[in-house]
Chains A and B, each alone.
Chain A
Amino acid sequence: EAGVAQSPRYKIIEKRQSVAFWCNPISGHATLYWYQQILGQGPKLLIQFQNNGVVDDSQLPKDRFSAERLKGVDSTLKIQPAKLEDSAVYLCASRRDSSSYNEQFFGPGTRLTVL
């Protein structure tokens, strides 16, 4: 089966600009996650969707980050305006559902550099 797709793979912007990332999860996976991975650290959950509803966004800086998952399939993560500290890899992951210990599958990530 096809894996989790993300685009773009790389993005360079200046601070205060806006940026958007796109994720297409594995077909049929109801649960979708966005993680932020700062260089040298483990992934940190930003937001979790179950179908098109938000399950957990407690770690999402809502003053500048937003995410949506229309129709419960693809998802976009937006940053507006970007700050230098937002430089990181943004990983999307999906799971068949959130009701069991099934595996989270990660996409390749989008590397964001904010200058």
Chain B
Amino acid sequence: GENVEQHPSTLSVQEGDSAVIKCTYSDSASNYFPWYKQELGKGPQLIIDIRSNVGEKKDQRIAVTLNKTAKHFSLHITETQPEDSAVYFCAASKNTDKLIFGTGTRLQVFP
């Protein structure tokens, strides 16, 4: 079955710097890749997603890139702010099948 690996497990950046989180997946048939942000004591919240027919997608300060050949996708956050501090999860699925989540990245943005 699908396996999703995520790196790094922790990431500390200075406010205003960029942050990059990377994920790899194993099933070449996967075609939907969402990213979730989870704040302390809350459930995950979708922040951006990408489908396999697109190589890049942007939404203000966040962007996701997908390399289908290498089977990896990345989350880019620019101009980080303290409120970006949270745990971020990548996930992958095939069509509308169940989501397989990565192990998470704890992002800390220092003022």
Contact = CB atoms under 8 A, between A and B. Distances in A.
A104 B32 CA distance: 13
The size class of the interface chain B forms with chain A is 20 to 34
A103 interface: yes
B52 to A, nearest CB: 11
B75 interface: no
B42 A101 contact: no
Contact of B41 (A33, A44, A56, A108): A108
Contact of A44 (B43, B45, B101, B104): B101
A40 interface: yes
Interface string A80-99: 00000000000101000011
Interface in B1-58: 4, 6, 32, 34, 36, 41-46, 49, 51
Nearest to B46: A103
Given A40-B103, A43-B101, A104-B46, 10 more contacts: A33-B98, A40-B104, A41-B103, A45-B99, A99-B96, A103-B46, A103-B49, A106-B43, A108-B41, A108-B43
Interface of A: 4, 33, 40-45, 48, 56, 91, 93, 98-101, 103-104, 106-109
